[in-house]
Amino acid sequence: MNTSMMLASAEIRRGRGRFASVVSALALIVFLVLVLGALADGLFFGATGAVRSTTANAYAFSSDAEGSLVRSRLDISDVAKFAQVPGVASAGPVGVLLTGGEGPEGELDLAVFGISMGAAGTPNTLVSGRIPEPGEVGVALADQQLDQFGVRIGTTVSVGGNSAEIVGIVSDTSYQLQPTIWTSIDTWRAMRDAVRPELSGEATQINAVALTTSADLGDIAAAVDGTNVLTAEATGLAIPGVEQQNATLNSIIYTTLAVSALVVALFFALLVLEKRELFASLKALGTPTSRLGWAVIIQAVVSSVLGVVIGSIVAQLFGLVIPASVPTLFRPETLITIGVFTVIAGFAGALFSLRRIARIDPATAIGGVL
Amino acid sequence: MSEQDATTADMGPDPLIDADQRPTALLQVRDVTKVYGTGHTAVTALQTATMSVEQGEFVALVGPSGSGKTTLISIIGGLLAPTTGSVHIGDIDVTALSRKELTRFRAERVGFVFQSANLVPFLTARENLLYVAGLIGSSKSGARARADQLLEELGLADRAKNLPEQLSGGERQRVAIGRALMNDPDLVLVDEPTAALDTALGRQVVQLLGREVKDRGKTGIMVTHDLRMVEYTDRVFQILDGHLTHVESSTGAGH
Ligand SMILES: Nc1ncnc2c1ncn2[C@@H]1O[C@H](COP(=O)(O)OP(=O)(O)OP(=O)(O)O)[C@@H](O)[C@H]1O
Ligand SMILES: [Mg+2]
């Protein structure tokens, strides 16, 4: 191990140029993967916050809705039916309206959620202020993201002439990349009727029912005709585009990581090829194959770690200059995962060289025998 | 057989005849044959070669190209397995060692000087010596002192921190000699050490090698094409077409 370290470190120190090339290739890959990862996280979190950051762990939809909140149509009377199903701790109505609104500084794109405050489906990520009382009218919670448009506690947001005063700020509750406000079902319905007059006859229609439950979801759905029930997580994935985006970006990320293993494998395979004679003579001098293998593995791991460090610094800097309109989210979890995967990929890449090293015949070191 | 040729001369102890009567000889090669390949492509590189070399002796191995010189010292040094026959170094039967044991044997007991110096290009002269000490787990301070002493003796004290690319061909060969002696081996095996050097420098390197081998009580075998180098050795073995014969005592330093 000592001699492996000596070989590995001296070669890196005295051959910085060539290692710089593999480190920069890896840094570039890590940078790309991190930006893609930030985009994937940004899209996922921005699309699904409204169903992740609430007290509900399941949602009930009309069975024709395929788990889509906006397509689903239930009746307010269904809430009581779900509440009576054994194992359901709480049930609350959910109304959704994607619309434009008026904030303190002008026009806003919004997703308005009508809920029963305190029941299942109430946001659980309060940052400041308070959750409105059940039945309190003309008040709302606003997502932190609306801060940039001047929406704060005490200001007013209005939709179709119906205004609501903001009494609390919540975080991570975006829906389909729109910032949200959360208000009572009645206020929500008034807003809906104002912007969608064609729906104004449907005074008892809601979109879905939020549930806090430990019961089997199939049993719950069976208890109320014409409904199906999904976990909150599945509800997030059923939001249009989320699952496809996730799958696409993840496959790009995995492919890119595989490419980094390939880069390391090729680089070290070439390096080993170039050093065949040297390795033969080191073996002739009595170096066990394992020590030469360790030297290559140490170099691959060091190169990958350097690539991860440089790539992630560049990605963080890049994150600072990405326009706010591009939904990106740099999460430490993603950074750690990608970093660990890259180092493992580097390690795996180096393993490809081991067989070649093992096959080098020490007898070729001495003049003449080939 | 070569044994007959050798016995006809009366020139002191004959290593071939006496091989078995000299249990003290450090190196004993007995009836070693090496066949490369099989079937009609088989090449017999070495035919029942027998030799023994005492501790403190520096011998030359000469012969035309393709005669089997490299094959013989590769077998002696544990780099190549003979087809039949045995090689003993001290009380070790080299031919009975496993691959792993051979690796350790080479690190501890054998010092190689290759045709081209084959130094590690990214290690300094001193580090090239320390590297082989690391292979047998020598203490760091002991290894440093020994490396410095060897470099001093080889006239390389002020070159210790240079990389091989910053050294001349002769200096590189001297570093390789230092490396071969670093682990205090029983046996020093040298293949064409002067191939890359001009005559004057070649002489100097071989002279130095002979002196180190003798002063330190090692056993040295040097393969060479260059008959002028023979004068620095004690005895000369010749190989012709795979047949090893003891030629004569050299006129040089040994006797
Ligand atoms: N790996 C091998 N496979 C097949 N034949 C070999 C191999 N190595 C050597 N030989 C053959 O064995 C014979 C002896 O080779 P060896 O290398 O020992 O000669 P040498 O005396 O060292 O020659 P030179 O002075 O040119 O270095 C030659 O005929 C050579 O072609
Ligand atoms: Mg040869």
Q: Give the residue with greater pLDDT, A263 vs B2.
A: A263
Tens digit of pLDDT for each residue in A287-323? 999 999 999 999 999 999 999 999 999 999 998 998 8
Asked whether the beta carbons of residue A363 and residue B79 sit closer than 8 angstroms, the reply is yes
Whether the CB of B70 sits within 6 Å of ligand 1: yes
For A85-119, give the DSSP string: STTEEEEEEEEEEEEEEEETTEEEEEEEEEE-TTS
Of B163, B227, B174, B190, residue with least CA distance to B70? B190
Mean pLDDT value across residues A24-36: 92
A192-212 burial, b if ≥16 CB within 10 A, otherwise e? bbbbeeeeeeeeeebbbbbbb
Helix (H, G, I), strand (E, B) or coil at B10: coil
* Ligand 1 atom at minimum distance from B74 CA: 18
List Cα–Cα distances, B142 to A9, A296, B50, B130, in angstroms: 22, 28, 38, 10
* Per-residue pLDDT band at A199 (split at 50, 70, 90): confident
Asked whether the beta carbons of residue B122 and residue A14 sit closer than 8 angstroms, the reply is yes
Residue-level pLDDT at A244: 86
CB atoms within 10 A of CB A218: 10
Question: Mean pLDDT, chain B, as a whole number?
Answer: 85
Among candidates B108, B114, B137 on the partner chain, residue whose Cβ is nearest the Cβ of A367: B114
B76-97 burial, b if ≥16 CB within 10 A, otherwise e? bbbbbebeebebbbeeeebbeb
Q: What is the token pair recorded at A174?
A: 């975006």
Distance from the CA of B238 to the center of ligand 2, in angstroms? 13
Q: Which residues contact A180 (CB under 8 A, 6 or more apart)?
A: A49, A50, A110, A111, A112, A113, A142, A143, A173, A174
Q: What is the token pair recorded at A286?
A: 């009595």
Distance from the CA of B91 to the center of ligand 2, in angstroms? 28
Quote the Cα angle for A110-A51-A71, to 5°.
70
Tokens 């490419």 belong to residue = A259
Distance (Å, whole) CA A326 – CA A318:
12
* Per-residue pLDDT band at B158 (split at 50, 70, 90): very high
Of B94, B100, B162, B101, residue with least CA distance to B128? B162
Of A142, A139, A90, A95, residue with least CA distance to A114? A95
Asked whether the beta carbons of residue B135 and residue A287 sit closer than 8 angstroms, the reply is yes
* Per-residue pLDDT band at B249 (split at 50, 70, 90): low
Whether residue B1 has pLDDT greater than 90: no
Distance from the CA of B193 to the center of ligand 1, in angstroms? 17
Mean pLDDT value across residues B21-33: 80
* Per-residue pLDDT band at B248 (split at 50, 70, 90): low
Whether the CB of B122 sits within 6 Å of ligand 1: no
Distance (Å, whole) CA A204 – CA A345:
56
Asked whether the beta carbons of residue B74 and residue A285 sit closer than 8 angstroms, the reply is no
The reply to whether A15 touches chain B by the CB within 8 Å rule is yes
Write the single-letter amino acid at A136: E
* Ligand 1 atom at minimum distance from B43 CA: 5
CB atoms within 10 A of CB B175: 28
Distance (Å, whole) CA B6 – CA B10:
9
Q: Which residues contact B129 (CB under 8 A, 6 or more apart)?
A: B143, B146, B147, B150, B151, B175, B178, B179, B182
Task: Using only the alpha carbons of chain A, give its radius of gyration.
Answer: 29
Whether the CB of B241 sits within 6 Å of ligand 1: no
* Per-residue pLDDT band at B251 (split at 50, 70, 90): low
Complex ipTM value:
0.85
Whether residue B122 has pLDDT greater than 90: yes
CB atoms within 10 A of CB A246: 18
Residue-level pLDDT at B19: 45
Asked whether the beta carbons of residue A365 and residue B69 sit closer than 8 angstroms, the reply is no
Strand segments, DSSP code E, in B95-198 are 110-113, 187-191
Q: What percent of chain B lies above the pLDDT cut of 70?
A: 87
The residues spanned by each domain of chain A are: 2-47+243-366, 64-225
Domains and their CATH numbers in chain B? 3-249 (3.40.50.300)
Mean pLDDT value across residues A151-179: 93
Tens digit of pLDDT for each residue in A280-290? 999 999 999 99
* Per-residue pLDDT band at A130 (split at 50, 70, 90): very high
Whether residue B219 has pLDDT greater than 90: yes
List Cα–Cα distances, B193 to A109, A286, A361, B199, in angstroms: 83, 20, 21, 11
Q: Which ligand is nearest to the CA of B36?
A: 1
Quote the Cα angle for B57-B61-B65, to 5°.
165
Mean pLDDT value across residues A71-87: 91
Whether residue A201 has pLDDT greater than 70: yes
Q: Which residues of B touch A (CB under 8 A)?
A: 69-71, 73-74, 77, 79-80, 100, 103-108, 110, 112, 114-116, 118, 120-123, 127, 130-132, 134-137, 163, 179, 191-192, 195, 223
Of A299, A287, A270, A267, residue with least CA distance to A365? A287
List Cα–Cα distances, B211 to A110, A260, B229, in angstroms: 92, 54, 13
Whether the CB of B71 sits within 6 Å of ligand 1: yes
Whether residue A90 has pLDDT greater than 90: yes
User: Which 3-state string (H, E, C) describes B25-38?
Assistant: CCEEEEEEEEEECC
Whether the CB of B43 sits within 6 Å of ligand 1: yes
For A317-364, give the DSSP string: HHHHHS-TTS-----HHHHHHHHHHHHHHHHHHHHHHHHHHHH--GGG
A227-243 burial, b if ≥16 CB within 10 A, otherwise e? bbbbebeebbbbbeebe
Chain A residue numbers touching B136 (CB-CB < 8 A): 286
Distance (Å, whole) CA A328 – CA B193:
65
Asked whether the beta carbons of residue A367 and residue B106 sit closer than 8 angstroms, the reply is no
**Does residue A229 contact residue A311 with C-beta atoms inside 8 Å?**
no
Give the environment of ion ligand 2: residues with CB less than 5 A: A 367-368; B 70
Whether residue B18 has pLDDT greater than 50: no
* Per-residue pLDDT band at B227 (split at 50, 70, 90): confident
Whether residue A129 has pLDDT greater than 90: yes
For B28-95, give the DSSP string: EEEEEEEEESSGGG-EEEEEEEEEEE-TT-EEEEE--TTSSHHHHHHHHTTSS--SEEEEEETTEEGG
Asked whether the beta carbons of residue B77 and residue A366 sit closer than 8 angstroms, the reply is yes
